[in-house]
Amino acid sequence: MPKILIVDDEKMIRNVVKEYAEFEGYETAEAENGMEAVEMCRKEDYDIIVMDIMMPRLDGYSAVKEIRKTKHTPVIMLSARGEEYDKLFGFEIGVDDYVVKPFSPKELLARIKAVLKRGSAPDDSVKMEKISFEGLEINVTGREVTIDGVPAQLTPKEYDLLFYLVKNKGIALSREKLLEEVWGYDFYGDDRTVDTHIKMLRSSLGEYRKFIVTLRGMGYKFDA
């Protein structure tokens, strides 16, 4: 049974998330600040963390960076701040998803299910261990990317997006399709999530950003 760590300084929000999560069959644990969450993660493993950003003692971003030093537990951030910069920063430190307050508990549970499903369902459709396009090399089994022999610093979500684009090389992919296949949901998705991650991925790929082609009004494709 998956176990969720709910981190928020507002008890009412923790209670709401806990009630819906337990109704769906999840185990839950609670922390009321980032410092407490870090200590709990050092002592125990969780399947996913729902983390608020603005908290006393240690904010959510700092807590995630500290947890990421030893564990790669999926994280969904909660915040009243919905600007693109805030989301971009969260994705850069490895956050898996971002939910803006006030939120629908049903939407949050749908996102939790999607993130957990992605983590438990490895893609076996591509058997090649390594794929190369000029100086861009993707190690599929090792989940590593090198650019002209130098390891690229991709977030887990950037890798998932790149691999899906490569797996469907030459195929036009809508933003909705990318949300459904890479993030695991469609109705609850936001097109800007895709665009933000494409921007980050292009930045990480350097000159090989040229392989990710924008299809105006539609989406993207990998064209090498």
Gap between the Cα atoms of 27 and 22, Å rounded: 6
Give me the phi and psi of 19, to 5 degrees please.
-60, -45
pTM here is 0.65
Ordered domains of the chain (ranges, CATH): 3-120 (3.40.50.2300), 130-222 (1.10.10.10)
Q: What is the 3-state secondary structure (H, E, C) of the chain?
A: CCEEEEECCCHHHHHHHHHHHHHCCCEEEEECCHHHHHHHHHHCCCCEEEEECCCCCCCHHHHHHHHCCCCCCCEEEEECCCCHHHHHHHHHCCCCEEEECCCCHHHHHHHHHHHHHHHHCCCCCCCCCEEEECCEEEECCCCEEEECCEECCCCHHHHHHHHHHHHCCCCCEEHHHHHHHHHCCCCCCCHHHHHHHHHHHHHHHHHHHHHEEEECCCEEEECC
pLDDT reported for residue 126: 46
Nearest residue to 94 (alpha-carbon basis) of 122, 70, 65: 65
**Ordered per-residue pLDDT tens for the chain, 224 residues:** 899 999 999 999 999 999 999 999 999 999 999 999 999 999 999 999 999 999 988 999 999 999 988 888 999 999 876 666 777 777 778 788 888 888 899 989 988 988 887 665 444 444 457 889 999 999 887 788 999 999 998 888 898 899 999 989 999 999 988 988 887 765 455 677 889 899 999 999 999 999 999 998 889 999 98
Nearest residue to 136 (alpha-carbon basis) of 88, 44, 60, 207? 207
